[in-house]
Amino acid sequence: MTTLFVSDLHLDPERPEITELFGRFLDGEARDADALYILGDLFEAWVGDDDPSEAGSFVASKLRALADAGVPSYFIRGNRDFLLGHDYARSAGMTLLPDPAVVMLYGKPTLILHGDLLCMDDAAYQQFRAQTRDPQWQVQFLSQPLAARLAFAAQARAASKARYGELVAKGMAETIGDVAPASVREWFRRYGIHQMIHGHTHRPAIHDEGDGNTRIVLGDWYEQGSVLRVDASGMKLESL
């Protein structure tokens, strides 16, 4: 049996073919898995569980069917869907996990996280992250009308794209947008384990970090699927 990991699907009405691809993945390969882990940014934006998103309803029905078939799914919130709550998780039949979390993979303790916590060189983003993860900020935000929250999300996405363009122009996108090596070493040291899986950076690879530490980065689903398959014999990171 195999445990599957995905992240950074960024499901959005503008790319229905990717939502359909994920649906086929859930109906197909995932049905034979031990478990499915989704490490954040399942959706391009999530402004509350009351959002009548077609993609959200579609994915919830597919994940519920997966759970009914006996395959558990686990979710870590990302930087785009950090407001995904317990109501949606219950409807989808998936379990919310803290970021980060430690899981046992065939006898090997593994640190799993979305990955934005590793990007400590991006000070502006880390400040935004701290603000939006504050429980009081979230309560205040979720109390606003849906239209206002959707407008905020659209504005935030536009600002993110503009800032990325500025970083590209300055030749800083590759460094600022990637993990900080010191942060990676600190998280390995803090948890005392030797295997880490995360997404967020959209740079799929398996890295030897030295000292027996391995860091696996999941790919995004903007133009294709990306899945990490782990079993007792090892792991494979592949595109769909």
Number of structural domains (the chain) is 1
- The single-letter DSSP state of residue 28 is T
**What backbone torsions phi and psi does residue 196 show, to the nearest 5 degrees?**
-135, 140
Instruction: For residue 24, give its domain range.
Output: 3-239
Nearby residues of 209 by Cβ (< 8 Å), 6 or more positions away:
184, 185, 188, 215
- Element spanning 196, H or E: strand 195-198
Contact assessment for residue 208 and residue 150, using Cβ atoms and an 8 Å cutoff: no
Contact assessment for residue 79 and residue 200, using Cβ atoms and an 8 Å cutoff: yes
pLDDT of res. 175: 59
User: For strand 205-210 and strand 108-113, is the pairing parallel, antiparallel, or unpaired?
Assistant: unpaired
Question: What's the rounded Cα separation, in Å, for the pair 164 and 160?
Answer: 6
Mind listing the pLDDT tens digit of every residue in the chain (240 residues)? 899 999 999 999 889 999 999 999 999 999 999 999 999 999 999 999 998 889 999 999 999 999 999 999 999 999 999 999 999 999 999 999 999 999 999 999 999 999 999 999 888 889 999 999 999 999 999 999 999 999 998 888 887 777 767 766 766 556 567 899 999 999 999 999 999 999 999 999 999 999 999 999 999 999 889 999 999 999 999 998
Residue type (1 letter), 155: Q
Collapsing DSSP states into helix, strand and coil, what is residue 155? Answer: helix
Look up the CATH number of the domain holding residue 196.
Answer: 3.60.21.10
pTM tops 0.85, yes or no: yes
pLDDT of res. 237: 97
How many residues are recorded in the chain?
Answer: 240
- Half-sphere exposure of residue 79: CA atoms within 13 angstroms, side-chain side: 20
